[in-house]
Structures are given as C-alpha cells and as structure tokens.
C-alpha cells in the first residue's frame, strides 16, 4: 500500500499511480489535462465551514485534524475513504492538492488515515 501527497502544481510522475484530487475546488491555473486527475471525491474534502475556520487562524492544526476526522466518519465520506483505501491496496495512490503546506493540511490527515 502506497499513499503519498503531492501538490497539483508539480508535474505528474509515473510513480503517482491513481491521482486523487482532495480539494473541494478545482485548483487555479491548472487545466484538467495538466493535472492528470483520475478521481475527484468532493465529499471527502473538509466542509466549507471547517476550511474557513482553519484558514482564519482560529485553531490549531491538531484541532483541525480532529474535527476533519469527525467529518470523515459521516457515511458518504466514510464510503469514499474506504474506496480510496481499496485503490491504495491495489497500487500507488497520490493525493493531489493545491495547498501551500501539504504537511499541515487535510491531505496529510487523509494520507495518515489511508496508510497501514
């Protein structure tokens, strides 16, 4: 099982495997052809309210991760999380995001939850 996180602005690599966009909005300045996205499960992304709360600076990354994990327990998100986990069991999966700091973002929370 291989799950990694990459920014959408980095050129795709053959080692990426299935590329899953984990942002709710399409990244600016990147065409669909350039991004090489295989799946875009929008319901797997943080809610608009949680994104706004976190980006306002009101809370810590740890609190954001806790709240996001709670959102991922909802049935639709849990089903999509399991789908991506199945993809990772079959081969490499790259979680693609436009965030500037992937290490302190929802993408790193997803990668942690998807890793064995």
Query: Based on the structure, what is the number of domains in the chain?
Result: 1
Q: Which residues of 40-62 are buried (b: 16+ CB within 10 A; e: fewer)?
A: bbebbbbeeebbebbeeeeeeee
Domain that holds residue 64: 2-114
- Indicate the pLDDT class of residue 1, thresholds 50, 70 and 90: low
Q: Is the pLDDT of residue 116 over 80?
A: no
Tell me the pTM. Answer: 0.93
Instruction: Give the tens place of pLDDT for each residue, 7-62.
Output: 999 999 999 999 999 999 999 999 999 999 999 999 999 999 999 999 898 889 99
């Amino acid at each position: 099982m291989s799950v990694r996180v990459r920014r959408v602005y980095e050129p795709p690599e053959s080692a990426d495997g299935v590329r899953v966009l984990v942002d709710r909005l399409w990244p600016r300045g990147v065409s669909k052809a350039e991004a090489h996205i295989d799946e875009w499960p929008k319901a797997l992304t943080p809610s608009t309210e949680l994104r706004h709360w976190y980006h306002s600076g009101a809370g810590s990354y740890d609190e954001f991760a806790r709240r996001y994990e709670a959102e991922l327990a909802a049935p639709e998100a849990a089903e999509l999380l399991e789908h991506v986990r199945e993809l990772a069991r079959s081969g490499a999966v790259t979680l693609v995001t436009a965030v500037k700091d992937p290490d302190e973002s929802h993408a790193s929370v997803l990668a942690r939850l998807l890793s064995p």
